Homo-oligomer: A and B are copies of this chain.
Amino acid sequence: MEHLAEQYLDVRKHTEDICRPLQTEDYVVQPVVDVSPPKWHLGHTTWFFETFVLVPFFRGYQQFNTLYNFVFNSYYETIGARVIRTDRGNLSRPSVEDVYRYRRYVDEQMVLFLENEDIEQTVVDIIILGLHHEQQHQELLCTDIKYILGHNPLFPAYAEKAAVNELLQAGGFVTMKEGVYSIGFEGEGFCFDNELGRHKVYLNEFNIAKGLVTNGDYLEFIKDGGYQNFRYWHAEGWDWVNKQRIQAPLYWHYVDGKWLHYTLSGLQALNTAEAVCHISYYEAAAFAAWKGMRLPTEAEWEVAAEEFQWGKRWEWTSSAYLPYPGFIRAEGAVGEYNGKFMVNQMVLRGASIATPGGHSRKTYRNFFHAMHQWQFTGIRLAY
């Protein structure tokens, strides 16, 4: 299992690398319910390995701190007869240092455990699931850190020079022929349960854009009154725009007649050539309606994925997040992983600049609620 140990340590290290530029205080806060404190991500991913690998399978393992179970599991729990609600953003303890100590302890134990050559395949599978789980949290760490710093009135930069976001945008559309296609995961390697059950779908002829919608394109929509015209919006989207007073993508600021946006390098002039980012499904759908087009379905996206470049933005599709034919929830905790979220969410395909390398596949099904903007989301048009 040497290779697995190496892979394990690689993934674990990358999580900590993401947090390296943070100050202690940045690890602690939770500005909105969807954003978790970085400290919590660090602990929760560690708790996964402790709870699902070490405790049940490593004989003689001593838990680091039994109270961490409900600090990092995030449910209501009781201490004696009184309920303490462990809101993630209210917990000053365990300290950041304690959480890193927890990580080191669990990592050492995991390496010891993995020295054993006779680990059963089911346990290996759980470890690999844990690594993919941690990679998902690596992406959430990026989006949550951006939210925490980008909602601070001092607008601190995360890094002097964050990854260049500008994209080479191919123009035009690809036409895909009508017919029966197959979608869903096949082959070797890891995938989540929601990708399984490769199956046939019948698609009409459709056209899908080679490039993503840019900030410049989106600015046209704003200037044309897109946020003021209910005709482009779903009824729930229109409510959302009005109640939340949405007038632009998240992180855009209109200052002295110019559009700025907060990036991980701080507040900067809006780059019109860059792919639009941090928009909700409602906005993506409204933009497409304004264009007289639509968003692709997830099946269309998947069958055409080799015809265009993807991976810079999570691309909203027009598909609701539902089980594939034959989907069965796994038994036990793993069964809670995906299936229970299959209602009232929309599928996103692709990957984003915040997605860890190797953590993307054309069959990957990401999903969020229609109003969420804080992921690195974008728009690909179809018709």
Q: What is A's interface to B at a CB cutoff of 8 Å? A: 23-31, 39, 67, 70-71, 77, 79-82, 84, 86-87, 89-96, 148-149, 151-156, 180, 199-202, 204, 231, 233-238, 252-256, 260, 281-282, 285, 289, 294, 318-320, 322-323, 325-326, 329, 335, 340-344, 346, 370
Contacts and interface: CB of A to CB of B under 8 A. Distances in A.
B234 A340 contact: yes
26 contacts: A23-B93, A24-B95, A25-B27, A25-B39, A25-B93, A25-B96, A29-B89, A67-B153, A79-B153, A79-B253, A80-B253, A80-B254, A84-B153, A90-B152, A93-B149, A93-B152, A200-B202, A200-B204, A204-B325, A204-B326, A231-B335, A234-B341, A234-B343, A285-B343, A319-B322, A320-B322
Contacts of A254: 80-82
Residue among A24, A79, A154, A341 with the highest chain B CB neighbour number at 10 A? A154
Contacts of A155: 79
Contact of A70 (B87, B153, B233): B153
A318 B339 CA distance: 13
Copies of the chain in the assembly? 4
A66 B242 CA distance: 27
Nearest to A90: B31
Contacts of A200: 202, 204
Contacts of A25: 24-25, 27-28, 39, 92-93, 95-96
A153 B66 CA distance: 11
A276 to B, nearest CB: 17
Nearest to A300: B325
Nearest to A206: B325
A93 B344 contact: no
The list of the 5 closest CB pairs from A to B, nearest first, reads: A80-B255, A320-B320, A31-B90, A25-B92, A81-B254
Nearest to A69: B153
Nearest to A292: B328
Contacts of A343: 234, 236-237, 281-282, 285, 346, 370
Contacts of A39: 25
Nearest to A327: B294
Nearest to A201: B202
A308 B342 CA distance: 28
